[in-house]
Amino acid sequence: MNTENSIISAIFKSLSFSEKEIMLIERKFEKLILKKGTVLLEAGQTVHQQYFICSGCLRTYFIDKAGKEHTIQFAIKDWWISDYTAFFTTTTAIMTIDCIQDATVYKISKEDMEGLYIEIPQLETFFRKKMEGAFAGFQKRLIGSLSQSATERYTSFIHTYPNIEQSVKNYHIASYLGITTESLSRIRKEIAQK
C-alpha cells in the first residue's frame, strides 16, 4: 500500500505500522478541506474531535464577558488543535476555532482515538508525548505572558510561528500577545530600527 500521501506519512512520520494497522488508522481519520473563514468549533458545542493540521492556519479564541476576544492558540502545519478542556472533560466548548487560512486537516474522535490505543499501543505513547509537549508549551507561554515584556512576547511569537505574520491579521496577533494593535505597531517599529 502506498502511504506516501496518506495520514500515516503526514502525522506518524517516526512510526512504522503493519498493513492492517495502516488500514485501521486511515479508517479512523477523516480529511477535511477548510476555506478561510470556516468556523470549525463554536463555544457551547460538544467537543468529540481533535484536528491535525496538514496545511493552513487555524486559531482558537475565547470571548470574555465584556465581549473581548482572546486568541489562545494558532495551529499551523504539524500541530494539533481542539478545545482540549471540553475534549478531555466532556464539557461543552469554552473556545471557538476558526480557519484563518485555507487549510487541510484530519479529524479523529476521542472514541476512535481510544480504540486505536487498544489496537495499536504505540499510538498511546505517541499521543502522550505530543500532549506532554503541548502542555509544556502552554505552561511556557503562560509564564512568558506573566513575566515578559510585550516586546519579548512578540519576539517569542515570531520564533514559535515563523512566516505566519504575513498571513495573520494584526488584531489576531495583538490578541494572542495580550496587547493592542497600536502597541504591536510600535514594537515592530522599534525592532525594525535596531
Would you say residue 43 lies in a domain? yes
Q: Is 43 helix (H, G, I), strand (E, B) or coil?
A: coil
Query: pLDDT, tens digit, for every residue of 46-77?
Result: 999 999 999 999 999 999 999 999 999 999 88
Average pLDDT rounded to a whole number, residues 68-93: 91
Residues 6 or more apart in contact with residue 77 via CB below 8 angstroms: 53, 54, 55, 56
Give a three-class secondary structure readout of 126-139.
HHHHHHHHHHHHHH
Structural domain for 75, as ranges = 7-120
Count of domains for the chain = 1
Would you say residue 132 lies in a domain? no
The model's pTM is 0.86
Would you say residue 178 lies in a domain? no
Average pLDDT rounded to a whole number, residues 10-21: 89
The cell for 145 is 505572558
Instruction: Give the whole-number percent of the chain exceeding pLDDT 70.
Output: 97
Q: Which residue has the higher pLDDT, 10 or 81?
A: 81
CATH number at residue 107: 2.60.120.10
Would you say residue 145 lies in a domain? no
Average pLDDT rounded to a whole number, residues 9-18: 87
Q: Is the pLDDT of residue 167 over 80?
A: no
pLDDT tier at 134 (50, 70, 90 boundaries)? confident
Would you say residue 18 lies in a domain? yes
Average pLDDT rounded to a whole number, residues 10-16: 86
Residues linked to residue 30 through DSSP beta bridges, in sequence order? 107
Would you say residue 167 lies in a domain? no
Q: Is the pLDDT of residue 5 over 60?
A: no
The cell for 23 is 488500514
pLDDT of residue 3: 42
| Number of neighbours of residue 112 by Cβ within 10 angstroms | 18
Q: Is 74 left (phi over 0), alpha (psi -120 to 50) or beta?
A: beta
Would you say residue 80 lies in a domain? yes
Q: Is the pLDDT of residue 4 over 90?
A: no
Q: Is the pLDDT of residue 2 over 60?
A: no
Q: Which residue has the higher pLDDT, 106 or 165?
A: 106
